[in-house]
């Protein structure tokens, strides 16, 4: 399964993207994450549903300096392509 996610709140300037990348590695997920000019952090993640659920739960509460006020998620169409890594993209 592949999802998109967007974390809104205090998530920039505190190492949150690196936290997302490390959390994805723990859960063996692939995808990407980046900062958005509106102050949010967005990304996509791909993997088994139980791992994605745990990943999202950790993103909401696991970073000591973050203040995630809202986490938006959406299931994406599966293109059949399988990424191997989780990486940080350039900010938009």
Query: What is the strand order of the sheet 86-88 is part of?
Result: 67-76, 2-10, 41-46, 30-35, 86-88
Out of 2, 6, 10, 35, pick the active-site residue.
35
- Alpha-carbon span 53 to 48, nearest angstrom: 9
Residue 35 catalytic?
Answer: yes
Q: What are the residue numbers of the active site? A: 17, 35
């Amino acid at each position: 399964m592949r999802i998109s996610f967007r974390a809104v709140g205090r998530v920039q300037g505190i190492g949150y993207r690196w936290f997302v990348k490390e959390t994805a590695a723990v859960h063996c997920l692939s995808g990407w994450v980046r900062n958005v000019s509106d102050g949010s952090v967005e990304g996509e993640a791909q993997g088994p549903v139980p791992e994605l659920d745990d990943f999202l739960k950790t993103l909401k509460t696991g970073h000591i300096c973050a203040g995630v006020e809202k986490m938006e998620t959406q299931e994406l169409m599966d293109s059949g392509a399988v990424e191997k890594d989780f990486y940080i993209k350039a900010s938009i």
